[in-house]
Amino acid sequence: MEAKGDRSMGALLKRHQAALVLWALLLSSFLLVVALYAAFSGPFILKVHELSQIDRAERGSANGAIMDYEDYLRIDPNSIRIRGLLVSACIEIRRFAEADEHAKEGLRLAPEDRRPVAMLIVTRIHLARGEIDAAANMVESVLETLPDSGEAHYDLAQIHLARGEFDEAERVSAQVRALGPKESSREYADEWSARLEKMETYETEIAGGVESAQRLYELGTEFEKAGRLGEARDLYIKSGQGEKPPAAAFFWTAVQLEAAGRLGEAAKEYKRASRSAASHPSAKYALNRLEAKP
């Protein structure tokens, strides 16, 4: 009887040992996956972003992309790049409270050398809300550390536009174009390279004729991000000829009118941009600035 008990105990111990070995193997496999994931995070992030855009197109909104980015952050909460994409997607559908929460968490988690990049995510929320002065303070701080950041210069160009400083906006936008491949913050380097590669395709598309107001608006956004402000302005204004003009069409018409000194007409267009269904974030600031002029 005693021998039988010893054999049962031995079998039980062996099962426990096997279970421990299995758990150890699973843990080792998980750590290996994490290590490989970290090593190839740049291309993987771009793939997640690409799949999210497909998801976004199929669902007709940014909600699918938001879920994809949140899933990614559960695995790697320190990914500033994905956090930035998540914040942008939240802003797109005006979920500002969530955007704030994610941006603050990114700022809290960011190591010191990545903090300026996390600050750019916060800047994006300020710009989306039309908080131009707060955005300017943030961008100035970022540029002290990352003077070659194309993303920061893009934000700075938006600030100059809202302030009516059109020549400065053009100058800074040209810097965005020059800095593209030299982007100093690694989170954006791949995106800049990919954008530059696509510009030739966009140019061919425009040369063939684009009628859709929505597509003209999308192309305007791409040209603006690439630092080609003059071409972006023309595309935005042309998008206003459709049945449902985007707010960007009104805003850029106002920019053009203000630059020509036609302030009364510009104020009307800024007002239209601020009151349209998806208002332009800088329009209200620009309108208040214009109305405050003596």
Instruction: Return the percentage of the chain with pLDDT > 70, whole number.
Output: 73
Q: What is the mean pLDDT of residues 125-151?
A: 88
Fold of 37-109: 1.25.40
| Residue 8: pLDDT over 90 | no
CB 83 within 8 A of CB 121: yes
Residue 133: the pLDDT is 92
CA distance 70 to 73: 5
Q: What amino acid occupies position 23? A: W
Q: What is the mean pLDDT of residues 265-276?
A: 88
Give 225 or 28, the one with higher predicted confidence: 225
CB 151 within 8 A of CB 186: no
Q: Is 61 helix (H, G, I), strand (E, B) or coil?
A: coil
Tokens of 12: 């039980």
- The boundaries of every CATH 1.25.40 domain in the chain are 37-109
Q: What is the mean pLDDT of residues 70-85?
A: 81
145-195 pLDDT, tens per residue? 888 888 888 889 889 989 888 888 888 888 877 776 555 556 566 666 777
**CA distances for 196 relative to 129, 181, 184, 271, angstroms:** 28, 8, 16, 34
| Residue 9: pLDDT over 60 | no
CB atoms closer than 10 angstroms to residue 154: 22
CA distance 173 to 34: 39
CB atoms closer than 10 angstroms to residue 34: 12
Virtual torsion, Cα 112, 148, 94, 110, nearest 10 deg: -10
CA distance 93 to 139: 24
* pLDDT confidence tier of residue 113, bands split at 50, 70 and 90: confident
Tokens of 252: 């850029």
197-252 pLDDT, tens per residue? 788 888 888 888 888 888 888 888 888 888 888 888 889 899 888 777 888 888 88
Q: What is the mean pLDDT of residues 264-281?
A: 84
